[in-house]
């Protein structure tokens, strides 16, 4: 039976690629060997991975019997961003290739690093635009 909301929904399982910008110049970070832009591929805030993380966090808070502290909340956001990270192609700020495996642990460490808060901020900005996760189509 078709949903009465057919044609209104978005595809929450789609991914999008966040092109990384240099934190100072705001120009795209580019691999100086290949000329390819640096990027992070992500699931959206509305993906099953995000929903699962939110449920696990809420369950953890219930078990603790208290709200998360500010530090715990900040750490939890880094964990969620790591869960949404599918793949990446990274470079240093001067364009040298950066061979870092895209694992949950590495992503969580990156998003919770004070030195890499600029990456975290760009990823959050990207996630806040649902259009980054949809196939191009008519805009009328």
Q: What is the dihedral of CA 125, 130, 131, 136, to 10 degrees?
A: 140
Pair 13, 47: CB distance under 8 Å:
yes
Angle at 70 between CA 64 and CA 76, to 5 degrees: 70
Query: Global pTM?
Result: 0.86
Q: Is the pLDDT of residue 134 over 90?
A: no
Where b means 16+ CB within 10 Å and e means fewer, 80-102 reads bbbbbbbebbbbeeebeeeeeeb
The residues near 33 (Cβ < 8 Å, ≥ 6 apart) are 96, 97
- Average pLDDT of the segment spanning 115-133: 95
Model pLDDT for residues 10-40, shown as the tens digit of each residue: 777 899 999 999 999 999 999 999 999 999 9
Model pLDDT for residues 31-85, shown as the tens digit of each residue: 999 999 999 999 998 898 988 988 788 788 788 788 888 888 889 899 999 999 9
pLDDT band at 139 (very low <50, low <70, confident <90, very high): low
- What is the model's pLDDT at position 107? 98
Please state, rounded to an integer, the average pLDDT across all residues of the chain. 90
Burial class (CB in 10 A: 0-12, 13-18, 19+), 123: buried
Task: Give the Cα separation of 42 and 13 in Å (integer).
Answer: 10
Q: Is the pLDDT of residue 137 over 60?
A: no
- What is the model's pLDDT at position 8? 79
Pair 29, 73: CB distance under 8 Å:
no
């Amino acid at each position: 039976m078709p949903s009465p909301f057919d044609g209104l929904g978005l595809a929450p399982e789609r991914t999008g690629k966040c092109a990384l910008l240099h934190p100072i110049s705001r120009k795209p970070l580019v691999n100086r060997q290949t000329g390819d832009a640096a990027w992070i591929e992500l699931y959206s805030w509305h993906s099953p991975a995000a929903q699962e993380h939110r449920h696990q966090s809420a369950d953890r808070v219930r078990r603790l019997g208290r709200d998360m502290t500010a530090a715990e909340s900040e750490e939890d956001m880094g964990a969620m961003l790591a869960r949404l990270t599918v793949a990446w192609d990274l470079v240093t700020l001067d364009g040298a290739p950066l061979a870092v495996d895209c694992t949950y642990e590495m992503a969580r460490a990156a998003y919770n690093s004070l030195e890499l808060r600029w990456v975290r901020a760009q990823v959050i900005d990207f996630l806040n635009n649902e259009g980054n996760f949809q196939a191009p189509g008519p805009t009328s």
